[in-house]
Amino acid sequence: MQPQRERSEARPRAGWMVMGERGRPSALDVCRVLAVFFALFPSASLQCKVIKCTTEYLAITSNSGLGEEEYCTALRAYKSCVGRLARSCRGDLAYHSVQHGIEDLMNQKNCSKEGPTFQPRARTPPPPPPPPPVVTDSQERSDGPEVCHYERSLTRNSAPPNYTHCGFFGDPHLRTFGDDFQTCKVEGAWPLIHNKFLSVQVTNSPVLPGSMATATSKLTIIFRNYQECVEQKMYHAETDDLPAAFADGSKNGGDRYGANTLRVVEKVPGQHVEIQAKYIGTTIVVRQVGRYLTFAVRMPVEVAHSVEEGDTQDLYLCLHGCPANQRIDFRNFRARAAEATQGASRTRGGAGTHGFTFKSAKVKCKERLPVEDLYFQSCVFDLLSSGDINFTMAAYYAFEDVKMLHSNSNRYHIYEKDALNSATRRGKNVLLASVLSLLAVLLWSAALL
């Protein structure tokens, strides 16, 4: 797999000094700073067009008779130009230094963020592009500008993005972004995903009165407002109500020019909906199987990990898995079910509590899931815990979604040994963290003595 790329979250402060008359940096001063940036980061001049914004800014401010308000207007224009490069210059340190240097200058000169901006001078502008065709329905417009296409917006020499997958189905079973496979209780409302771009929440209800088995009866997805691409949109589904549109009745991202980079596509009425969010490289599949919903998503790793600054929550199931007190070890459940089946066959020769014996559940699941991986095991678990034959199809479609959405064909199947190894690694990591924390406390205490 490609190494995980990280979105630059740090906000390095560029040390722009107040120079020259009225504290304004001269063109020479700015050029010196930029010369250092581009010497250290030569890729910025090739991949990131920030130097174009700087050139236009210097052309405007080279007039020594520029007034304070005009200077602030030029800074706002500079900031606006740089802001439009946010996606194409993502992670470029020179770009971020220039960006925060502008903020410093605006603060030093008490420039308002709102107000007029200069138009670039000293060159003949290219002819404007033809206006988009007038349509009566925003669903018909094109996919919009390049910034609204995740892969197209990446810099030319960037490595291809790494994609990750999360699935949630059945009673319920969770496959995390890290390919951990868990069976959980999680009754009630729980967040699957929450980052800078979207939030996903599920509500799980008991399958049978008094049973600990639960399944997803409601699902809500909120896509956040994003640049000139999409307006905020909400998709909400419930049992027997799998809509082919967002909550406001629209099928795309609104009235912006990039609206069609967010679309709801109905695959099978009332059973299968796909939501395509091209502006963040994300595809979501929602199904209703029997009376319950399933969820699957494919998204870039950096989008999946773009948690908001200061967000310390660790309850996002796709990212962190189910809390330990909400997990079910279905190996123990399966062993008890097998023992109960043997006892029932000796005494009554009948089926299990919910109509399936361990053996008959395996036979039924084998019809759709011939490989005895954790999807097969989850199917057996669900039939034994609920007796609802529709859970067979829930596990089957969950695996079909894996084949469509997972980026690594060698990781389609997950086996019990994989889950055990993952749990062992987590245990070792927790132990190591505890030891390091204790060591840090001891060293700190020794330093105080």
Domain 163-326, CATH among 3.30.70.890, 3.40.50.2300, 3.40.50.620, 3.40.1000.10 = 3.40.1000.10
For the segment 83-101, the average pLDDT, to the nearest whole number, is 73
Domain definitions of the chain by residue range: 49-109, 163-326
CA distances from 58 to 80, 89, 101, 111, 395 (A): 15, 20, 14, 18, 61
- Is the model's pLDDT at 54 over the cut of 50? yes
Nearest in space to 374 (alpha carbons), one of 163, 169, 208: 169
Q: Looking at 247-261, 304-318, 402-416, 419-433, which range is the least confident one?
A: 419-433
Number of helices and strands in the chain (H, E)? 12, 12
Confidence at 382, pLDDT banded by 50, 70, 90: very high
Tokens of 106: 């605006």
Rounded to the nearest integer, the mean pLDDT of the chain is: 77
The answer to which of 116-120, 236-240, 321-325 has the lowest mean pLDDT is 116-120
Residue 16 pLDDT: 42
Q: What is the mean pLDDT of residues 414-438?
A: 53
pLDDT value, residue 169: 98
The pLDDT tens digits for 189-238 are 999 999 999 999 999 999 988 777 899 999 999 999 998 899 999 999 99
Q: What is the pTM of this model?
A: 0.62
Residue 397 makes CB contacts below 8 A (sequence gap 6+) with 169, 287, 289, 294
pLDDT digits (tens, 9 = 90+) for 32-48: 455 444 444 444 444 56
What per-residue confidence (pLDDT) applies to 418?
A: 61
Using alpha carbons, select from 425, 333, 348, 447 the residue that is nearest to residue 383: 333
How confident is the model at residue 153, as a pLDDT? 83
The residue among 361 and 128 whose pLDDT is bigger is: 361
Region 273-285: what's the mean pLDDT? 97
| 428's tokens | 């070792």
